[in-house]
Amino acid sequence: AQSVTQLGSHVSVSEGALVLLRCNYSSSVPPYLFWYVQYPNQGLQLLLKYTTGATLVKGINGFEAEFKKSETSFHLTKPSAHMSDAAEYFCAVSGYSGNTPLVFGKGTRLSVIA
Amino acid sequence: ETGVTQSPTHLIKTRGQQVTLRCSSQSGHNTVSWYQQALGQGPQFIFQYYREEENGRGNFPPRFSGLQFPNYSSELNVNALELDDSALYLCASSPGSLGTEKLFFGSGTQLSVL
């Protein structure tokens, strides 16, 4: 079984500051890991994913995440926050080479202060 | 734009009623899955259909049922609505037989049960 824990239900950063959203996972099999973003009144948009290979993955809008097996973590970062980054972010895990449904964390709301 | 459309966008029902939510996937996407997102929570997997057959189910009671049609459309039916069924319902489609590597989400249907 898989599970995801997102530390911090709400994160607030200043425009131009580093964004760090934390995600820890639990999986009995090699995981596939994802970050999704949800803007108000919209569905989920894939930011980035880790399947196999390089542990540092780059996504859209300047976001990146690093898979650390020893720490069971997949934290999302962006060097410089922009006002348009304000949204809800979800970390998700899937197992068996992606052949199991996504299990999502509860989400982290990112606020960006001008 | 994911190419996945859901209807209606909003719906209000009363307890005990039945509801049908609809999803239109991209052409060629043989897999469709449905997720329930309660307020302040991450999406939870309801079930998945591949080529018109259910091939995965989450921890939801039988009053949640679905259909998938050859024209890449699908339905989520919920009978005997309860107040806790109030949520955003998300449809996601994939070109593969299984797997979460390439999921495309719709914008969801917001269901309110009074």
Q: Which residue has the higher pLDDT, A30 or A7?
A: A7
Instruction: Give me chain B's average pLDDT, please.
Output: 92
Residue B96 pLDDT level (bands cut at 50, 70, 90): confident
Q: Which residue has the higher pLDDT, B27 or A86?
A: A86
pLDDT of B1 reads 65
pLDDT of B21 reads 98
pLDDT tens sequence across B62-77:
999 999 999 889 999 9
Q: Among B101, B104, B109, pick the best mutation site for testing chain A contact (most A Cβ within 10 A).
A: B101
Q: Distance between CA atoms of A83 and A114, rounded to whole angstroms? A: 7
Q: Among candidates A12, A21, A27, which has minimal Cα distance to A74?
A: A21
What is the arithmetic mean of pLDDT over A18-41?
Answer: 92
Q: Distance between CA atoms of B78 and B74, rounded to whole angstroms? A: 14
Contact A44 B98 (CB under 8 A): no
Distance from CA of A80 to the nearest CA of B (A): 26
pLDDT of B88 reads 95
CA distances from A88 to A11, A24, A35, A42, B72 (A): 10, 17, 11, 10, 29
Question: Over 70: is that where the pLDDT of A73 sits?
Answer: yes
Q: Distance between CA atoms of B31 and B103, rounded to whole angstroms? A: 9
pLDDT of A98 reads 64
Q: Distance between CA atoms of B111 and B109, rounded to whole angstroms? A: 6
What is the arithmetic mean of pLDDT over B41-60?
Answer: 92
Q: Does the CB of B44 have a partner CB in chain A at under 8 Å?
A: yes
Q: Which residue has the higher pLDDT, B60 or B96?
A: B60
Residue B28 pLDDT level (bands cut at 50, 70, 90): confident
Contact A49 B33 (CB under 8 A): no
Q: Does the CB of B101 have a partner CB in chain A at under 8 Å?
A: yes
pLDDT tens sequence across B32-47:
999 999 998 999 999 9
Question: Over 90: is that where the pLDDT of A31 sits?
Answer: no
Contact B43 A102 (CB under 8 A): yes
